[in-house]
Structure 1
């Protein structure tokens, strides 16, 4: 794995965007796996800025998002479809037909999970998967469990995840209790994985993810065995890893 240490969130966002932009330039019709939440917002802003300068072209890019809340339509301001439109898709020249987010309002949720798995396969898999990380080590909405979930599935969100996401809703009671999420197998089959993390509240999860035992109790720990993992994290997120002050560490 390669670990890039950033001084702050701004530097982290620029470095992550640089890695993603290189993927797009090398393979203009690449398939990007995308994430939501606060961590990638700066990265998406940087990608938008480079697009506006004429440095990036999204016309052939295809995307698959990690997850979506059950019960929210894509027009709901709290949905992850809305988040992606608002933070990236509305600001670049991507074909909206090439952007994919699970349907949280599907009448048959199990059929929707199957459809999403088949969609990823039909695209030839994911060239680069962007991930954030939860304070309990979840990636996507793969919560700590007794076993790793393989493919797209329905998950009951933990109290800690609901609490962490409550800041985005008017009331904690409004946070959906379930989500559709891409599974660990789908994530691990991506050709490249880019994990980003910022802040002291992610330090314990990052330490356990990168240097603890591989365990479904810390879902992100499975990333240790991926052959092409890049981590971009700021000083605070890396504060419990004892890695020194180098700009890049290869483990």
Structure 2
């Protein structure tokens, strides 16, 4: 890849990027846009009597308090919603980490989303899914039984990963076939996450995760990603201008029919 792309201006990202990008102000705008995408899709589907199916991240997470507030204000029923979370950390035996851990994505969704919504509006427990290290094929079966994924939400990792689809030196075509699986988390991902989640305690970070695959993500009718950190400046530019491959997984969405990256002013700045 031509390294000059890391110095491309915000205007060039918008006009020439291979993935549509919306450059916003502060991070709150990114999170608000993501929350609006959620509630607007649910309202649209509810009016038509249709189910809503989302693939949901725990990172970014700033959209969830806004989503919860809007659900309460609009008295928006989530009874016909299905939330499929992207991933979860595993322990050294490749089992789920405890829900009580501050790192647990399952625990986060309970605390920040499901426990905050009135029961009369809430998503039924049987409609809440996480990839299962004991049954990796379950997520694909769920999606196939539901017949769709309306929107896959997410962020982009330091090496271009979506969910925990860590980079591999394979073609885009091969990487696009990856489905839900247990894998070892790369050193760079563990470092980046340790800085944000454990104040730099790299050796306390899990080394395994279970993640949905690129196949499940690419099945979604829409893909919406949020970027907002200083190191997202380089990540965003590589996502928009590198050739699609497993080397930088987010590049695979360049050919998706309805993908959009939402970037705050920090991520929109030149990397160097």
TM-score, length-scaled by structure 2: 0.80
Deviations 1:198-228 (A, max 9, x none): 0221111111112221121110010111001
Q: Which residues of structure 2 form unaligned runs of 5+?
A: 1-18, 92-96
2:131–2:180 contact (8 Å) kept in structure 1: no
| RMSD, aligned CA | 1.8
- Whole-angstrom CA distance in 2 between matches of 1:141 and 1:152: 10
Paired position in structure 2 for 1:125: 148
Paired position in structure 2 for 1:42: 62
1:57 deviation in Å?
2.3
Deviations 1:117-151 (A, max 9, x none): 22222222311100111111111001110221521
- Whole-angstrom CA distance in 2 between matches of 1:52 and 1:209: 35
Q: Kindly indicate whether residue 221 of structure 2 is the aligned counterpart of residue 191 of structure 1.
A: yes
1:174 deviation in Å?
2.3
Paired position in structure 1 for 2:81: 61
- Whole-angstrom CA distance in 2 between matches of 1:95 and 1:2: 34
Q: Kindly indicate whether residue 1 of structure 2 is the aligned counterpart of residue 5 of structure 1.
A: no
Paired position in structure 2 for 1:96: 125
Deviations 1:26-56 (A, max 9, x none): 113200100012x2x2211111111121253
1:203–1:239 contact (8 Å) kept in structure 2: yes
Q: Kindly indicate whether residue 188 of structure 2 is the aligned counterpart of residue 160 of structure 1.
A: yes
Aligned residues: 233
TM-score, length-scaled by structure 1: 0.86
1:75 deviation in Å?
4.1
Larger Rg over CA atoms: 2
- Whole-angstrom CA distance in 1 between matches of 2:181 and 2:62: 28
Q: Which residues of structure 1 form unaligned runs of 5+?
A: 104-108, 242-251
2:253–2:259 contact (8 Å) kept in structure 1: yes
- Whole-angstrom CA distance in 1 between matches of 2:33 and 2:261: 10
